[in-house]
Structure 1
């Protein structure tokens, strides 16, 4: 099969959409399939990473405001329309042009600013369409829909997708790289006798509000033992990267700041606790049974965070309550191994890390001849 992906990364959008598409593309490649990416040239895009991974890439130019659709009533139906960098009509035509002359078996769409209108327009040039969504806030015209989030029900998409659409819902289909499943047994074994010595801090590839810096400030004022190790992971496009590096040098703990890491599964395996965003990396942490304190960085993450908190798999904080609430949570975990054991046990039952391969099987089984 030849699969095309339409997804974007930017300072505003973050990196999660492109990263999970890359995970799926690599799973497809492991089964002998070919993938092509179509992305717009936003500030903070991941073009270099996509090409480094060996995938074909078509970059779409940002459109000036005067070139965007003037039909505000039409565009206002999509809450994140400003994330696109063009009108949906322009984006559709540019996508069709990018794919012209290529036989595409599946077009995978992972973008909050695109809906059924765009999907109908581009369907003329592809066999089938799959949509990756998280928020169930707009209609889609697709054969397969994936929503990997805990707490989501297939019925949430009633009236938003065709009746014949195959709905793949829940963390069983979470798009995780294969190394997470490979590290799962080793990581879960570490959770049986926990001790809080090493904390992984990963608050998204962009972290435009520098929540990482707020977390480090809160940790500096906490009662954590001074021998605690901090492993801070950021994206190269994070605006506060240099400020965080300087801040880490002044901490009373041993702290390292790493950028664009490729060994996240091993880092999560070796960590005793993660302070992380309530986004798609939540499923990586669950796969490895890593106890977590989650921070909601964007409204679309709130549902994930609440579902995990209600399941007892993580603590949930809003970024506005960080210093005081983070300190209380840390004190509880430092004083109680049983709290760490409970978080780990409930997290590991949520996701096994094999979702990417389940999805590849679904696409292979349901492709149009």
Structure 2
């Protein structure tokens, strides 16, 4: 019996590349289990398409996000000797509508939706929300839907899965600044422009990671060039090594946040999207990190001053429950997700 998994995700300068990298990690785990993987997308940057080619994953561009485009494609992949699954990782709410879910299931295809949105009825076979916020939300699901919720299902990259959960680091130390592959809110440029004007921060070493989709890459490189306490890394493969040298991460509440928590860093958060804003608030309210701004707010001087104060003084009140959070993390969560996928393809 041939088992096929079709993974739909996009990645570009506007939405970033987080969906893509999460799906790639899932795909790599499924490939170990002899499942055939094909990526589907409607907007995927040339650089990310190159990643698929290097890893020898077939990729197909769809012309539309309408259900008809998916059902036409999936009907063409059906057959008596096949078991098919579609994984959708997108913030577009049209994929959460019952019309879309039912249309996919009616092709004979199993469906998995990666979501952070509890405001829809889910009839898909699997839903995944790896964020801790999901444990306090109410999702309306069918009896057949298996919900995979919380950090025990977190999708870590391969190099982090055998790490184990580290103890908290020292209060003061080097600082990581990283906002993913695209940084759609232009946080990196704005933060560094402020930091480089403050003599009070000259004793701190900053490690600035810039992704390939950042539109101000050249400006950031030029601004930080020759600054003794600033190191800039472009599209680096040394992320874990860089993080291990730091005590604080300034980031969005996405992949970098969870990698930071695993490695024992404290975090200063700025949300980059509507999806991340409630997550950032929850993490702040639960004392799992300090949130200083959101995607729909300007970076005011008061917020910059709060950042400076935290970097200089290294207070602990914002991180009082980090041990509780770390106790919930499963670095091998992707293996549990893959096991559930295998079950529905039997």
Kept in 1: contact 2:174–2:245 (CA 8 A)? yes
Aligned to 1:81: none
1:133-144 matched pairs, under 5 angstroms? 133-144=115-126
- Specify the alignment match of 1:278 in structure 2: 253
- 2:237 equivalent in structure 1: 262
SS at match of 2:270: strand
Q: What is the CA distance between 1:44 and its match in structure 2?
A: 6.6
TM superposition shift of 1:224: 4.6
Of 32, 36, 39, which residue of structure 2 is paired with 1:37? Answer: 39
Matched residue, 2:202: 226
Q: Match for residue 54 of structure 2?
A: 52
Matched, 1:177 2:174: no
What's the counterpart of residue 110 of structure 1? Answer: 89
Does the 8 Å contact 1:93/1:122 carry over to 2?
yes
Cα offset for 1:313? 1.6
Determine if contact 2:8/2:89 at 8 Å carries over to the other structure. Answer: yes
**Correspondence for 2:262:** 287
Shift of 1:256: 1.5
Q: CA deviation at 1:97?
A: 6.0
For structure 2, the residue ranges without an aligned partner over 5 or more in a row are none
- 1:222 Cα shift? 3.6
Whether the 8 Å contact between 1:199 and 1:271 is mirrored in structure 2 is yes
Whether the 8 Å contact between 2:270 and 2:291 is mirrored in structure 1 is yes
Root-mean-square deviation (CA), in Å? 2.8
Find the partner of 1:156 among 138, 150, 166. 138
> Residue 299 of structure 2 is aligned with which of 313, 318, 321?
321
| Structure 1 unpaired stretches of 5+ | 62-85
Q: 2:180 maps to which residue?
A: 204
Deviations 1:105-151 (A, max 9, x none): 32211123213322322334444211110122333331111111222
Aligned match of 2:6 = 4
**Structure-2 change in CA distance of 1:268 and 1:340 (3 Å):** farther
SS of the residue corresponding to residue 299 of structure 1 reads coil
Check the 8 A contact 1:120/1:141 in 2, yes or no.
yes
Residue 239 of structure 1 aligns with which residue?
A: 215
Change in CA separation of 1:140 and 1:341 when aligned onto 2, cut-off 3 Å: closer
Between Structure 1 and Structure 2, the one with more helix by share is 1
Deviations 1:327-357 (A, max 9, x none): 3344234334756985754553342322111
- Cα drift, residue 368 of structure 1: 4.3
TM-score (norm 1): 0.81
Asked if 1 retains the 8 angstrom alpha-carbon contact of 2:289 and 2:319, the reply is no
Q: 1:356 to 1:223 in 2, by over 3 A?
A: farther
3-state SS, counterpart of residue 257 of structure 1: strand
For this pair of structures, how many residues does the alignment match? 337
Given that residues 111 and 124 in structure 2 are in contact (C-alpha distance below 8 angstroms), is that contact kept between their aligned partners in structure 1? yes
Does the aligned pair in 2 maintain the 1:44–1:237 contact within 8 Å? no
Counterpart contact for 1:128–1:142, Cα < 8 Å:
yes
Cα distance change on mapping 1:52 and 1:146 into 2, 3 Å: same
In the alignment, which residue of structure 1 is the partner of 2:112? 130
Judge conservation of contact 2:156–2:334 (CA < 8 Å) in 1.
Answer: yes
Other-structure match for 2:128: 146
Single out whichever of 133-142 and 294-303 deviates more from structure 2. 133-142
Question: Are 2:333 and 1:367 equivalent residues in the alignment?
Answer: no
Aligned pair in 2 of structure 1 residues 148, 167: CA closer, same or farther (>3 Å)? Answer: same
